[in-house]
Amino acid sequence: MKNLAKSLLDNEEVSAIVNVKHRDIFSVLGIHKHPMTSGLIVRAFLPEALSVEVIDTKTDALVAELNQVDQAGLFEGKLGRKRNVFDIVYVFHTKMKPLLLTTHTVILRY
């Protein structure tokens, strides 16, 4: 069994996500203000993934490698610095090959 990172979400919320019973999934998945720092946090639920990377599409720079926080495929990680508008791509790796998931335009206003 793989060592899992600790999620900032409580066990009940993690369970609701991985059992597809969460009432407001987009309130926790995707990019959000980090609850304890000035940065951002990103979460993805990708059941087939072994690892997940977040790429800035403008610079092609790796901005985060997400930690697996649940065996079912929940990943979470901190983005280094806060930005207001940027496009990201999630790249996740399975046993077969790396897969490009989707491109998201993220607009954050604080």
* pLDDT for residue 12 is more than 70: yes
Residue 80, sorted as left (phi over 0), alpha (psi -120 to 50) or beta, turns out to be alpha
Q: Give the pLDDT band of residue 91 (cuts 50, 70, 90).
A: confident
* pLDDT for residue 100 is more than 60: no
* Whether the model pTM is above 0.75: yes
Over range 18-31, report the average pLDDT.
90
Q: Please state the φ and ψ torsions of residue 83, each to the nearest 5 degrees.
A: -130, 155
Higher pLDDT, 76 or 63: 76
Q: How far apart are CA 20 and CA 28, in angstroms?
A: 13
* Domains of the chain by start residue, with CATH: 11-107 (2.60.40.10)
Over range 92-99, report the average pLDDT.
65
